[in-house]
Amino acid sequence: MSKSTKKVRDKWRAKDWYSIYTPSYFGELNVANIPATESSGPLGRVIENTLYDVTGDFSHQSTKLYFLVVSLKGDRADTILKGHEYSADYLRSLVRRGSSRIDGIFSATSKDGYTTRISVVAFARGRVKESQQHMIRETMRKVVDEKADSLTYDQLAHEMVLGKIGSDIYNVAKKVVPLRHVGVRKSRILVMPAGVMSKPGDKPQEAKPEEPIPTEAES
């Protein structure tokens, strides 16, 4: 009696492939092609890239970008920036013996309703007094709040990642103490407005970047 043979299903053939595109403020570039079998496809998936992948500038390889898939059009998946961060190696390279590091962590809501956690870091050229650190943090807070009040999330994300916010803080804070570097070392969306996800029937929900996005401990 012959044994019945099981038909082995090729899992890869059963998957649909999607092209992942960066948002318009990062050039609408095809940065990945991924398979998915779920009815929602890659909706809600997070794709990791570096800023170098987007700009082609080698000096940007130390900035990680995390893109969240929010919209599907056929096999095209559009994204928003869910967060970014300096690589651990780059952050360590900014530390100098005998100098101070000043951190500020703020939550800000853009004028189109995205609430974002923004972590700013400044490195001084020498030791900084507690009172001076407080003044620098207040400068960070003021610039972040003003930016969030006046910009959409697209604009805010662009300025966080490409250094405009860091530059604006630096130009004010350097009057307090000499500084070597100021930048937004990390960002992540905390809450997105209703209707961002395009899949019919989806309910708007609070973003949870800490699950798909690997992050270092806040310091």
Q: Give residue 87's pLDDT.
A: 97
Q: Residue 75, SS3?
A: coil
Q: Greater confidence, 50 or 10?
A: 50
Does 41 score more than 90 pLDDT? no
Contact 85, 185 (CB under 8 A): yes
How far, in Å, CA of 124 to CA of 73, rounded? Answer: 47
Report pLDDT digits (tens) over 106-125. 999 999 999 999 999 999 99
3-state secondary structure of 32: strand
**pLDDT value for 15:** 77
* Better-predicted residue by pLDDT, 5 or 73: 73
Q: Which of 11-25, 87-101, 202-216 has the lowest mean pLDDT?
A: 202-216
CATH topology of domain 87-191: Tetrahydropterin Synthase; Chain A (3.30.479)
Domain residue ranges of the chain, discontinuous segments joined by +: 16-85, 87-191
pLDDT at position 199: 56
pLDDT (mean) for 179-186: 97
Structure tokens at 2: 């012959």
Rounded to 10 degrees, what is the CA torsion of 190, 191, 192, 198? Answer: 90
119-169 pLDDT, tens digit per residue, is: 999 999 999 999 999 999 999 999 999 999 999 999 999 999 999 999 999
Is pLDDT at 206 greater than 60 in this prediction?
no
Let me know if 192 is exposed, middle or buried by CB neighbors in 10 A (0-12, 13-18, 19+): buried
The pLDDT-based confidence of 63 (bands split at 50, 70, 90) is very high
